[in-house]
Structure 1
Amino acid sequence: MKAKLYVNDGQYVSGMTLKDLAEPESNNMALHACENPQSVLANRKKLADFISAPVSSFICAQQTHSANFRRVSAKDKGRGAYDTEDAFSDTDALYTYDSRVVLCSFAADCVPVIIHDRKTGLIGVVHSGWQGTIKEIMSKLLQQLIDLEQCDPVDLDIQIGAAISQQQFEVDQDVYSKLDSLGYASEFMYFNNMTKKYHIDNQATVKRQCELVGVTSGQIHIDPTCTFLSLDGFSYRQDRKSGRHLIFAMKK
C-alpha cells in the first residue's frame, strides 16, 4: 500500500494514500469517482491491512463542498465503506472520540485536514476545497469543537495534507472576490499578468482559519506536496477523471 503516514504512534494513526500506477485504478480510493467499484474496494482492503483495521470500520461521507460536519461514533462504522449510498450525505468533515474507527475523507487537489486533540483524544478529518474554504468549514468546525466539545485550541494538532499548490491553482475574478471578501485571504493570493489569472494558496488560507480560532502556527503542519505536479498525486484539475486520495485518521 502506497501511503504517507503523518502520525503513527501507540495512540493514533493518520495519513493519506498516494497514487500508484502499479495498483488497480492507480490506487484510487473513491467509489464516487471510479471505473470499477471492485478495484476501489480491493484498494481499500489493502489500506485496511496497512493500518490494521477492517474496511468495516471505515466511515465515509458524500462530500459536496459544503460547510457541514458531523460527530460520529463506533455505531456508524461501515457507513460508506462498501458503497456510496449509505455514506453520510452532504457532509465534508467527520469527527469522533471513539477508538478503532477509521475516519475517511477524499481529495484530488482540495485541501484535506486532520485534527487531533491530544488531551481529549478527539480526531477529525476535513475536506476543504476552495468552496469549503470560502464557506469556512474549518473555522466553523473548530469553533464547534471549542464551544460544544470543550476542546482547547492549545491541545490541537492540525495536519494540512497534500493539495494543489498556489503555483498551479489558477482561478478567475469571481473566486478571487469571494476569497478576498473573507477579510484575511488576500495575502495568500496574487495576480498573474501573463495569464490574467489569480493564484490562491488554499493551504495557507485554511491555516489562517485555524489560527483565527486560537490554534498557534506551531501546532499546524502543512504537507508541501503539490498534487498537480507530484507523480504521487491525484489532480482533478489535471484530469477530470482522476481518482482520489483517501485521508484517514484512527485512534488505536
Structure 2
Amino acid sequence: MEYFSLNNIGLFRFSIFPQSDLFHFSSSIKGGVSTGAYSSLNLGLYSGDNPEHVKENRERIANVAGVPVENLYIPCQTHDDKTFIVDEQFLNLNDEEKEKKLYGIDALITDRKNICIGVTTADCVPVLIYDPHKEVLAAIHAGWKGTVARIAEKTVIRMTEHFGSNPKDLLAGIAPCISQERFEVGEEVVETFQEAGFQIEDIGYRNTETGKMHLNLQQANKLILNDAGIPAQNIEIANLCTYSNPQLFFSARRQTIHSGRMVTGGILK
C-alpha cells in the first residue's frame, strides 16, 4: 500500500486497483481540524468528537475525492453482516430516508459514478472490492464479528447476484487494521470463530507467556475472499497495524473510548 498526500490530507492507496477508473483511498489521521485524542482527521460522527470538526473533516475528504460532501455515503455500522446497494432509487431519496436506509449496514456496493462510498474503522478490517469489468465497487467494514459472519463473502455473493460479477475478475484490498500481534482475544472469541468453521491454526497463535490467543483478522478475511472465489493474486493486504502506528492511525484498542475513525472508500469515475 502506498502513502500519498492531497491538499495536505494523508492517504493510502492500493497498487492492485487501476487508477484510471477508480479513485480510492484509506485515510490516515493527517490533514484535519480535530484536536486532542481526535487529532486531526477524525471522520467518525459518533466518536465523541466535536461534530463541527467532524463535519469539516468530512468536507475535506470529499473535496480531495472530488465529490460534494452530500455525495459521501458512509453507513451507520453495527458490526453485523448486512450489505446495501447504493443505486439510483436510493440516491433520489431525501436525507432522512437515506439515513434510515444506511442504519445497521456494514458494506456498501455501487455501480453509480461520481459518488463516494466508504466505511469507518479504528482497528476493524476495511475491505475494498472492485470489479473492473462490470465497474462495481464495494466498501466493507469487517470487525471480528463481521469476519465471523463472513460479510466479505456475502458482499461478493451480492455483487455476483445483482451485477453479474464473476469472482475470478474481482480485485480486493485489505486496508490498515489491527495486527495479529496486537489483537489478543478471550477464549469466547476463539470459540465463536471455531463454531463458524474457522481453523484457528490458520488464523491464530497462542502467546506462550500470557496463554492468550492472538487472531489475524487480515488473514481471516483473505481466506474468506478466497473461499468466495477471488484468486489469491487478486488480493492485496496493507500489512499496516493501526494500533502500532499512532503517528498514522486511530486505534480503538489503544485509545479506548476517545478514538477517532478513518475512512476507506472510493469513487467510480
TM superposition score normalised by structure 2: 0.87
Give RMSD over aligned pairs.
2.2
> Which residue, out of 13, 17, 26, partners 1:5?
13
The aligned residue for residue 105 of structure 2 is: 91
The aligned residue for residue 136 of structure 1 is: 150
Task: Tell me the secondary structure at the aligned position of residue 204 of structure 1.
Answer: helix
Amino acid at match of 1:104: G
Q: Is the counterpart of residue 112 in structure 1 residue 147 in structure 2?
A: no
Cα distance in 2 for residues equivalent to 1:200 and 1:245: 22
Q: Is the counterpart of residue 238 in structure 1 residue 248 in structure 2?
A: no
What 5-or-longer segments of structure 1 have no aligned partner? none
Amino acid at match of 1:210: L
Cα distance in 1 for residues equivalent to 2:56 and 2:101: 18
Cα distance in 1 for residues equivalent to 2:218 and 2:174: 7
Amino acid at match of 2:244: L
Assess, with a 3 A threshold, how the Cα gap between structure 1 residues 210 and 175 changes in structure 2: closer, same or farther. Answer: same
Percent identity over the alignment is 26
- Check the 8 A contact 2:117/2:266 in 1, yes or no: yes
Cα distance in 1 for residues equivalent to 2:228 and 2:27: 29
What 5-or-longer segments of structure 2 have no aligned partner? 1-8
Q: Is the counterpart of residue 193 in structure 1 residue 208 in structure 2?
A: yes
Task: Tell me the secondary structure at the aligned position of residue 145 of structure 1.
Answer: helix
Cα distance in 1 for residues equivalent to 2:71 and 2:163: 23
Amino acid at match of 1:157: L
Q: What is the CA distance between 1:16 and its match in structure 2?
A: 0.9
Task: Tell me the secondary structure at the aligned position of residue 2 of structure 1.
Answer: strand
Cα distance in 2 for residues equivalent to 1:45 and 1:59: 12
Q: Is the counterpart of residue 225 in structure 1 residue 225 in structure 2?
A: no
Larger helix proportion of the pair: 2
Q: What is the CA distance between 1:43 and its match in structure 2?
A: 0.8
Assess, with a 3 A threshold, how the Cα gap between structure 1 residues 143 and 226 changes in structure 2: closer, same or farther. Answer: same
TM superposition score normalised by structure 1: 0.93
- Check the 8 A contact 1:68/1:92 in 2, yes or no: yes
* Equivalent runs, 1:102-181 vs 2, <5 Å: 102-181=116-195
Q: What is the CA distance between 1:77 and its match in structure 2?
A: 4.8
Cα distance in 2 for residues equivalent to 1:87 and 1:238: 32
Cα distance in 2 for residues equivalent to 1:80 and 1:189: 45
Cα distance in 1 for residues equivalent to 2:104 and 2:94: 13
Q: What is the CA distance between 1:182 and its match in structure 2?
A: 3.0
Deviates further, 124-133 or 186-195: 186-195
